Chain A
Amino acid sequence: MVTLLLLAGCEVVPLVVSKDSGADTDKEDSKKCCDDTGTDDSSSTDDSTADDSSTTDDSSTTDDSDTLPGDWSCDNLPPSALDDTTLDEARAYHGIVFDGDDKLIGWDGRSSLIKNSPDGTREVWLPGFSGIENMDRFPDGDIVAADLNNGRLLRIAPDGSYTTIASVQNLYGAGVVIGPDLQIYVADGGIIRVDPESGEITRIFDQPRNWTAHVLNFNLDSTRMYVGSVGNGTVYYFDLDEDLDPIGDIQTYATGVGSGWHDAIAIDVCGNIYVPEYYSSGFYRVEPDGTVTSLVDQQSRAYGHGAVWSPNSGGWRDDTIYQPQPYNGNTVREVVIGLQSGELARTWNGEAVPW
């Protein structure tokens, strides 16, 4: 059990979340919090960010003061990253995922998936891969991984066994996300949905003529999908129905999010999204009103080619995004955001998403 500070669109709410099974109830609590403030969950906007006029409640801060470097809330965002360091001993290339034992897993740019610990130690977990890109984790502990060189999505079990979920043409490798419906969403220029059991592929968004869908994520109540691009530095979105199918045309969400090559989209509990952009070596926060803030010093070698929130235990910071650094020896960048992952507050059709 770990204590969390959840900023779910109204007040700062202390929550206690079990790593294994307690998240359901806790997230429902956070949802109830929002409902109580009158936020409309059916809205196509990021409901959790609405009317966030609260101030930080000092009495609700976590018992681990190291995890929260400031009194940040949805209407009091840090002006930039609170800390930005390189974990020299960790290894990751274009993707990061945390396993159930609080290990940061990354491909080492050589041949193997590596398990990295917060104390700086690392161990070979699974050798034999010529190029693993983005990854995400199923609730059962299995990992979906983009095996770019073989053009396929793999499902890797904790015991190291793996299966091919599907062969994907134009698998870019960056945009691979498990949705709240436990389907896999992949940016392949457009967006496809992949059934992890049958491998069936359903296209939900065609590739546009003048830009490429490269990364994606869902908003907090799963009524919207954000789409990062290659082409023009614009983050787009489309609204989703209850089955997570697009409604209407794709829309511009924010412009000027770097120069044109987005490599990930992460979301915090306030509904802000975080986008690394390759051409500018930047890492940007995009607020729901479209405000774009550069969070880190822009150095080519230090560019973080991804964005994954840390888990809430095991010695990793819970207010921090971890990024692989393929141009810096395949090390890992630790960017302290000051807020927690939006995954902790995610809902779908009004129900908490327990993963």
Chain B
Amino acid sequence: MNTHFRQSSTSQANSPWIVRSVPWSERKLAWLKLLGLSAGMGIIWLVVLPWLATIEPLAEHIERMERQDIAVEAMFYTDLNWQPPDGAAWRH
């Protein structure tokens, strides 16, 4: 088989793909963990981060990047809203 990501040596033992019978109490705990983590993320994204965005140095930085049309989150150069300068060599 031609796969290019190796499986971890420990992945089999700990893998969520191994299905086991689990007592109801443990399952309930797992769901509570998920709900707790989701609620935590909700608070961070809906309350903490919007509040942080109003604090002055950060608010000014965000506004500046927006005004300059800079996509700070870009992963590759094609994600940038950027055109090469007119004098660039490849533009003949």
User: Does chain A bind chain B?
Assistant: no
Instruction: Give B residues with C-beta under 8 Å from A.
Output: none
Residues of chain A touching chain B, judged by Cβ–Cβ distance below 8 Å, are none
